[in-house]
């Protein structure tokens, strides 16, 4: 049994470390008074940084000021995170990192295509925006019909090139491809933010990230040797590949894929084959391009994880803290590819996963903002994740009821795995409201600290479908392109959330684990959770290994349900012996879960209540989070007496079997009982 006395104490008066820390990039001249105000408002600490002005970390006076700020925070009992950048996105160091080192900037590779239907002489000269030519080759083209031209990628003929010039003869029905590298900057996230218009580093380049460390981390560590060991974590802010254009009213001459010097060699080392014959398929082609694109973007994710989050985590951990913060567009599978190649892999390389949330009122809250990151939490076995609260979307609507909007969203976030909150939700409420909000958030963590969701329903994370279809674009990639994986996944998770069912995302690695534990232990499990149901979104393609694992699990009696169809295998083997999988609608998936029954497994009219189960030393904790603007009632169907723990006021009240439990509008509650 858990220590109920300790939990009661923490629930009634949550530790300061469980509460919210504001993002504080600048301090008042009397920063001690500002900190006293933070204590009065109930904050837990702050995310703070070396003063941005006058040279940032290159100015010793700034670091001395930072030393004083950190010392004052220690005196006030406030914890701190160290923000790693001057503005954002992280990696530029206010321009210092790339000063004198333009080769470390984010890079993209683009393709020039020249086809000949009669003999011709082709010339290509690099323009002044680009760095160099990195590959050129020609291929024969077959034209079996008047409307078709098929490039024969297996018959590549390399063409000589210099850094800035290609010249060759093209025979009838030959095509020339020239591949060039340039800065990934114009039209990217770097040129459309509120901070600066600076270029950013290449997060695939270990040397670029090392220079970021040398200029923005090392000066603090040298001047204040224990600064990092006293910090909770380092906060990084929206690093990305910068190859994607972000405004649909802009069109650019270059469709960019991620690049770093040594990429071709890294591909061959990783897969034992050359990328060069199939390099055009990163930019064009249909299903024939899918396998090479999946390999390409998986490699990009590996390189980003090693160079950026992995290298920075290693440095932070060596200095006594962890590396955290958040990334870009965490809510969307398509952008997991466009921004990082493989988002979950990049996040797993960080010491502590983190996300941000801009949609800070419940009607527009994206359910999966925590759930994709929760894969990293589960796989790395961390105590949840960090959220940066940024109420920047639909601000006018948010301001109509900021406290309740934010409280509703906090319940949804903590139900989905958040345990630490850093926030720009400052100045929207008065002192009493802010103190109450901090206590409310602190109680959420007090109850859930150290606890993973206890759930047997798993949804397949079909990133390979998005990787297979990702092609560089000449204009905005925010909404363009194939979004089947994201759209179908969202259809399932929306239905599950709004009907009160919990879930984890899983990938091919997790399915292999489930199949292996089935063989060795007789029970399929993933990260220690027994597998009951696996739901597969509507995808065009899936990894061959995943289909094989799903077949083994289905044959053992695990419920395996595909949304509408079974996707094609990305492998080359004959899978005709696989069983006939069950293909269902989203409604069928929900009905299957309703059929299981359960303590709070019932439909609720007039409100949407998200539900999750947690276990603490043999005691069941049911979290009920009402995202609606009306109270909701659910029946407690347990066999034993229960207790309702209310984070709004820290109270504990008894609940009898069969009694109705009220979940207040835009609030969460906990019901504790013995099964």
pLDDT-derived band at 354, boundaries 50, 70, 90: very high
- Are 537 and 565 in contact by the 8 Å Cβ rule? The answer is no
The Cα 195–Cα 369 span in angstroms is: 24
Chain mean pLDDT for the chain: 96
Tokens of 238: 């929206």
CA neighbours closer than 13 Å in the CB half-sphere of residue 234: 30
pLDDT, position 164: 98
pLDDT digits (tens, 9 = 90+) for 502-552: 999 999 999 999 999 999 999 999 999 999 999 999 999 999 999 999 999
CA neighbours closer than 13 Å in the CB half-sphere of residue 167: 2
Length reported for the chain: 675
**636: CB partners within 8 A, 6+ apart:** 599, 600, 642, 655, 656, 657, 658, 659, 660, 661, 671, 673
The Cα 224–Cα 67 span in angstroms is: 7
Tokens of 340: 């990082």
Q: Is the peptide bond before 574 cis (omega within 30 degrees of 0)?
A: no
- Report how far apart, in Å, the C-alpha atoms of 73 and of each of 196, 217, 233 are: 29, 20, 15
Alpha carbon of residue 478 to chain centroid: 16
The Cα 452–Cα 472 span in angstroms is: 38
Q: Partners of 105 in the beta sheet?
A: 201
Backbone angles phi, psi at 252, to 5 degrees: -125, 160
Instruction: Return the HEC string of 212-263.
Output: HHHHHCHHHHHHCCCHHHHCCEEEEECCCCCCCCCCCCCCCCCCCEEECCCH
- Are 535 and 458 in contact by the 8 Å Cβ rule? The answer is yes
Tokens of 363: 């009607």
pLDDT, position 602: 87
Q: Partners of 18 in the beta sheet?
A: none
Tokens of 229: 């060991």
Tokens of 323: 């590396």
Per-residue pLDDT at 613 exceeds 90: yes
- Are 93 and 212 in contact by the 8 Å Cβ rule? The answer is yes
Tokens of 495: 């239905």
CB atoms within 10 A of CB 192: 12
Tokens of 364: 């527009």
The whole-number average pLDDT for the span 17-27 is 97
Which percentage of the chain shows pLDDT scores above 90? 92
Of the candidates 357, 452, 332, the one whose C-alpha atom is nearest the C-alpha of residue 410 is 357
Per-residue pLDDT at 326 exceeds 80: yes
pLDDT-derived band at 346, boundaries 50, 70, 90: very high
The whole-number average pLDDT for the span 290-312 is 98
Q: Partners of 134 in the beta sheet?
A: none
End-to-end C-alpha distance for the chain, whole angstroms: 13
Q: Partners of 453 in the beta sheet?
A: none
CA angle (575 as vertex; 573, 577 as ends), nearest 5: 140
Backbone angles phi, psi at 16, to 5 degrees: -55, -35
- Report how far apart, in Å, the C-alpha atoms of 326 and of each of 35, 45, 86, 240, 419 are: 25, 18, 16, 11, 14
The Cα 356–Cα 339 span in angstroms is: 15
Tokens of 600: 């709070």
Backbone angles phi, psi at 420, to 5 degrees: -130, 135
Least confident residue range of 87-91, 147-151, 324-328: 147-151
Alpha carbon of residue 617 to chain centroid: 30
Which percentage of the chain shows pLDDT scores above 70? 99
The Cα 267–Cα 508 span in angstroms is: 21
Residues 389-427 as b/e (b if ≥16 CB within 10 A, e otherwise) read bbbeebeeebeeebbbbbbbbbbbbbbbbbbbbbbbbbe
pLDDT-derived band at 147, boundaries 50, 70, 90: confident
- Are 356 and 365 in contact by the 8 Å Cβ rule? The answer is no
**Which run of H or of E encompasses 43?**
none
CA neighbours closer than 13 Å in the CB half-sphere of residue 520: 7
pLDDT-derived band at 462, boundaries 50, 70, 90: very high
Per-residue pLDDT at 142 exceeds 60: yes
Per-residue pLDDT at 193 exceeds 90: no
Strands (E), 525-628: 525-526, 529-530, 533-536, 541-542, 559-563, 568-569, 582-584, 609-616, 619-626
Per-residue pLDDT at 9 exceeds 60: yes
The Cα 481–Cα 287 span in angstroms is: 14
The Cα 97–Cα 196 span in angstroms is: 15
CB atoms within 10 A of CB 253: 10
pLDDT digits (tens, 9 = 90+) for 271-287: 999 999 999 999 999 99
State if pTM tops 0.85.
Answer: yes
pLDDT digits (tens, 9 = 90+) for 441-454: 999 999 999 999 99
Per-residue pLDDT at 478 exceeds 70: no
């Amino acid at each position: 049994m858990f220590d109920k006395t300790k939990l009661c104490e923490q629930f009634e008066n949550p530790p300061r470390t469980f509460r919210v820390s504001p993002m504080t990039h600048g301090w008042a001249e009397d920063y001690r008074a500002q900190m006293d105000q933070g204590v009065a408002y109930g904050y837990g600490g702050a995310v703070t940084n070396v003063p941005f002005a006058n040279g940032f970390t290159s100015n010793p006076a700034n670091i001395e000021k930072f030393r004083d700020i950190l010392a004052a925070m220690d005196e006030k009992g406030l914890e701190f995170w160290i923000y790693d950048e001057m503005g954002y996105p992280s990696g530029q160091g206010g321009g210092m990192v790339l000063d004198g080192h333009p080769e470390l900037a984010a890079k993209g590779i683009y393709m020039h295509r020249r086809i000949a239907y009669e003999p011709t002489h082709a010339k290509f000269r690099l323009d002044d925006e680009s760095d160099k030519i990195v590959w050129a080759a020609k291929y024969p083209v077959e034209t079996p019909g008047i409307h078709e031209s098929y490039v024969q990628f297996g018959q590549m003929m390399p063409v000589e090139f210099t850094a800035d010039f290609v010249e060759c003869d093209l025979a009838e029905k030959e095509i020339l491809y020239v591949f060039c590298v340039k800065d990934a900057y114009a039209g990217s996230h770097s040129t459309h933010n509120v901070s600066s218009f600076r270029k950013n580093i290449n997060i695939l380049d270990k040397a670029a990230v090392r220079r970021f460390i040398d200029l923005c981390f090392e000066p603090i560590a040298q001047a204040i040797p224990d600064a990092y060991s006293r910090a909770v974590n380092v906060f990084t802010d929206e690093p990305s590949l910068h190859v994607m254009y972000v405004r649909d009213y802009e069109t650019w001459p270059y469709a960019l894929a991620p690049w770093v010097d040594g990429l071709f060699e890294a591909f061959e080392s990783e897969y034992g084959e050359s990328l060069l014959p199939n390099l055009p398929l990163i930019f064009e082609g249909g299903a024939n391009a899918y396998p090479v694109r999946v390999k390409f973007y998986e490699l990009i994710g590996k390189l980003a994880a090693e160079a950026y989050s992995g290298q920075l985590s290693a440095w932070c951990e060596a200095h006594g803290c962890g590396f955290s913060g958040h990334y870009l567009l965490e809510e969307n599978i398509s952008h997991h590819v466009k921004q990082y190649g493989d988002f979950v892999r990049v996040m797993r390389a960080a010491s502590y996963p983190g996300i941000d949330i801009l949609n800070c009122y419940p009607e527009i809250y994206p359910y999966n903002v925590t759930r994709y990151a929760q894969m990293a939490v589960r796989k790395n076995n961390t105590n949840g994740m960090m959220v940066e609260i940024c109420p920047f979307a639909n601000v006018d609507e948010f301001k109509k009821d900021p406290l309740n909007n934010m409280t509703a969203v906090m319940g949804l976030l903590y139900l989905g795995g958040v345990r630490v909150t850093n926030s720009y939700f400052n100045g929207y409420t008065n002192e009493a409201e802010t103190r109450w909000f901090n206590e409310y958030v602190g109680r959420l963590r007090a109850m859930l600290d150290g606890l993973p969701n206890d759930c047997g329903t798993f949804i397949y994370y079909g990133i390979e479908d998005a990787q297979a279809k990702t092609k560089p674009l000449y204009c905005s990639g925010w909404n363009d392109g194939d979004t089947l994986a994201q759209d179908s996944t969202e259809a399932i998770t929306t239905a599950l959330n709004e009907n009160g069912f919990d879930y984890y995302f899983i990938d091919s690695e997790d399915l292999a684990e489930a199949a292996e534990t089935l063989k060795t232990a007789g029970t399929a499990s993933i990260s220690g959770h027994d597998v009951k149901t696996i739901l597969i979104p509507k995808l065009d393609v899936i990894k061959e290994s995943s289909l094989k694992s799903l077949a083994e699990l289905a044959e053992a009696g695990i419920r395996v349900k595909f949304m509408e169809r079974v996707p094609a295998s990305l492998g080359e083997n004959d899978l005709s012996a696989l069983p006939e999988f069950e293909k269902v609608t989203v409604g069928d998936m929900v009905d299957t879960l309703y059929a299981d029954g359960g303590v709070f497994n019932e439909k609720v009219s007039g409100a949407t209540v998200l539900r999750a189960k947690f276990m603490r030393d043999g005691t069941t904790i049911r979290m009920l989070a009402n995202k609606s603007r009306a109270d909701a009632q659910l029946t407690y169907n347990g066999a034993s007496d229960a207790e309702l723990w209310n984070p709004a006021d820290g109270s504990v009240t008894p609940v009898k079997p069969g009694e109705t439990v009220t979940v207040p509008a835009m609030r969460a509650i906990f019901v504790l009982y013995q099964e």
